[in-house]
Each structure stands twice: as structure tokens, then as C-alpha cells.
Amino acid sequence: MAKAGKFGAEKALLDALDRIARSQSSYSVLYVNVSKLKLKNRHPAFVKIIAKLFDNLVGAAYGMMFILSNGDFAILGKNITSATVEDAVKKLRVGLASDPILYAQNMSEFARLYEFPDDFAELYRHIENVMEMVQLPDLSAYKYPVEASQIDGVIEKLNDVNITELVKHQSVLRIENANEFKTLFQEFFVAVKDLSRIYDADIDLTANKWLFLYLTQALDKKTISSFLFADIKNWPQNIGLNLNLSSVFSEEFVNFAKNVLRPEQKIVAEVQMMDVFNSLNLYFEAKEILHRGGHKILIDATSPEMLKMLNITRLEPDMIKIFWDPMMALEAENTELKNLINDFGADNIILAKCRDQNAVRWGVHYGIRNFQGPYIDKLEVSLIKTQCPYENKCSAEECLKRRRLIAGEFRDGCFNKEYLEKLLG
């Protein structure tokens, strides 16, 4: 796989094409226009999976893959057939169904096979054009990592901000029947993009993971304390909190759990996998403390690949949250994953970041009934708005935005807060 230095892959490919031209060998090149996919489908994780789909061709064709500067890749080899290319594109359509280029009348708009010697000159010119078109990054948009010397000032600035107006909440819904849903719990959090707006636009808060961890530990305490000033009357019975493990031992958390929550209210503490493996002893201690109060611990932001590596029997979290990736749809019949889900208990798994029905269908197929994400938010709001006597006074988008806030002027614009806080179930 060639990708080294400025235009390293392009130069290596052009060099290979020159050698082929001299030897008159019967090679072909499959060129995949990744750069023509929608921006959201050009995420590095997607591109890696796309490359893997075509990777089988590399071995079969005794060839080599070149990843170009614009994100496209080319496979040089022998015996690459249109049938194998079409099969790979069909698989991609399952995972990236919303991308129009995969449904173009001419499949070669996305994946084109260049045969030699007939197409040699055309491909050579195309690679040269790629090198001319690729632009240097805009350094004016570059963000600088927050430094250790700045972190105290960054944390101090939290004291000048009304965190209550930054905290949002989002429901996790459980599908009971075809048209019946209930609120499993609501997750309360501060989004990094919202937090970043209060700081210098040139600073990247997340670049240094250890300093960001230090910041989020302070943020956890501010977030929990903000609940005392929240404009919510109908708090959910189960409250999800994005937390660092160390925050479970904080004075703010203990006070909230013991003195603010009603006896029947319980917490679902959502912790990151990295946090768990960095502090296993702390994880087990935190889990014991939470269980003692009738609360739960959830391992956040996992994937099917991570589940296969996890020793669930050792960690024994109460719940797991899997982040949906459209490429997961390519594995509709993964027996190993299905067994893992069954062994852990599908009722204890949440499929999050669901953006469309494909995610829900995939989850239901694997026995999952708990969902979270933009698609679930819209579903929830549409159901609640049909019951609200003021449903025509605001749009679904306005209702959703107000519903996710816990305080602030925009939330106060709701005509009926009883329905704004209404929970399904």
C-alpha cells in the first residue's frame, strides 16, 4: 500500500505506469473515486472499510493499492474483472445507501477499471490532474492544542460561564411493540462543540487527551451542580450522566445522589472505555459504590469490533452503548456478534447515534430494543407534538431544540412546558 510524502502515492503510481508502458504487460487499474462520496461518507473509518472491501482484489490480482492525496485509491494488478468490482459496489450500497454516486447510471463514476494499453494515457493524465487539484491545507483554520500552562485558566473560565445553559439531555427510547415506546432514561451532557464556543476559537480542547481529561473532571462537577438551577419539573426516573470514573467519588456526585434525587430516581453512569482500562481498580470500586445506591454503570462508545475484544465477564457493566456506523449494515449476519449480544443480554445494550431507520432495523435484527440518536429524537418529538394542544405554534425543530435544554431563554419560549418535559412510556 503506497502512501508516503507529498504526492508519494501519485508519483509511485505514475512510475509503475511508466514501467508497464515499457514492458507492455497486461495490467489494469481499478480507480475508486472516494473523493466523490458525500463528506460524511469520507470519514477515515468509512474509507478504511471501503478500502478493505476492495482489498481482496489486491491479493487476487497480485497487485498493489495506492492511496492518493485526495482520498481516492487505485489498485494496480492483473485479472481484475468488472464482476468483482460490481460486487464490491453492491456491498457498499448497503452501508452507504444515501450516497447518490453509488447509484449513478454509470458505475464507473465511482469505480472505474482502466485497461492497458488502451486507457493508459487517460489514467496518466488523471493522476497528474489530481496532483494539480489537491491544495495545501488552510493553516488559518488550524487550531492549537491547549497546553499545560493554559489548563488552569481554561478551567477557571468555567466559573464565569452559566453551565446550566450548555447542558443538554437526550432520551434513550425502548421499543416495546411496533407503535409503542417508553423512555428508558435521559442522558445529560455538555457537548464539546458547545463548550468550545466559550473559548478562543484557535484552541483545540481535545488535542491533548490528558489535559482534556483534567478539564472534563472539572466540567463533571459543574454539570452536576447545575442541576440545582435547572428549569425542569418532571425529571426522569432514570438519569444518565456522562462521567469520568473519578467523578463518582466527587462531593458533587455524592451530594446529588444522596440529597437531590428522589428515592425512586436512579443514575446510569456512562464511562468511556479508555477510562475503564486506564483505571481498572477505580472502575470496580466505582461500580460497587453505584450498585450500593441502586445505580448502574454503562460503558459508552463501543463498537462491534470492541465488543469482540472486551472481556465482558470480567468487567460486568450493567449496560453497553454501541455507536452506530452505517458500514455495520454490511454485517447483517455476524454470528459471533449475535452470540456476544445474546450472552451479554440484548436488553442491556443501547444502539446510539442512530440517524435513520437502517440503524434501528439493524439493531432489532440483533435483538436490540434500546435506541438513541437524531432519528430517535425526531420520532420522540413527533409523537409528543401530536398530543400537545399548541403543536402548531412551533416547528418540530424548535420543539426538539427546546426539549434538549434544561434552562435558558430559548427554552422559555415553549408554550406548554408540561409537554416539553413529557416522557414516553
Domains of the chain: 8-133 (3.30.70), 144-420 (3.20.20.450)
At residue 137 the predicted structure's pLDDT band, cuts being 50, 70 and 90, is low
At residue 3 the predicted structure's pLDDT band, cuts being 50, 70 and 90, is very low
In the three-class reduction of DSSP (H, G, I as helix; E, B as strand; rest coil), residue 206 is classed as coil
Q: CB pairs under 8 A, 24+ apart, for 408-415?
A: 408/164, 408/165, 408/231, 411/231, 412/231, 415/390
Measured at the alpha carbon of residue 218, what is the angle toward residues 247 and 264, in degrees to the nearest 5? Answer: 40
Q: From residue 308, give the alpha-carbon distance in Å to each of 118, 297, 303, 361, 367.
A: 47, 20, 9, 21, 17
Whole-angstrom distance, CA of residue 405 vs CA of residue 231: 9
Share of the chain above pLDDT 70, in %: 90
Q: Around Cβ 408, how many Cβ atoms within 10 Å?
A: 15
Residue 245 has pLDDT above 80, yes or no: yes
Contact 199, 154 (CB under 8 A): yes
pTM of the predicted model over 0.75: no
- Mind listing the pLDDT tens digit for each residue in 155-188? 888 888 899 999 999 999 999 887 789 999 999 9
- Mind listing the pLDDT tens digit for each residue in 57-80? 676 667 788 888 888 888 888 878
The number of angstroms, rounded, from the C-alpha of 326 to the middle of its chain's C-alpha atoms is 10
Q: HSE-up of 386 (CA within 13 Å, CB side)?
A: 6
pLDDT at 1: 47
In the three-class reduction of DSSP (H, G, I as helix; E, B as strand; rest coil), residue 134 is classed as coil
Q: Between residues 235 and 46, which one has the greater pLDDT?
A: 235
Residue 241 has pLDDT above 90, yes or no: yes
The number of angstroms, rounded, from the C-alpha of 137 to the middle of its chain's C-alpha atoms is 25
End-to-end Cα, the chain, rounded Å: 53
Beta strands in 64-214 (DSSP E): 64-67, 73-77, 111-115, 144-145, 168-177, 180-189, 203-204
Q: Between residues 360 and 331, which one has the greater pLDDT?
A: 360
pLDDT at 134: 66
At residue 204 the predicted structure's pLDDT band, cuts being 50, 70 and 90, is confident
pLDDT at 54: 73
Chain mean pLDDT for the chain? 86
Residue 4 has pLDDT above 50, yes or no: no
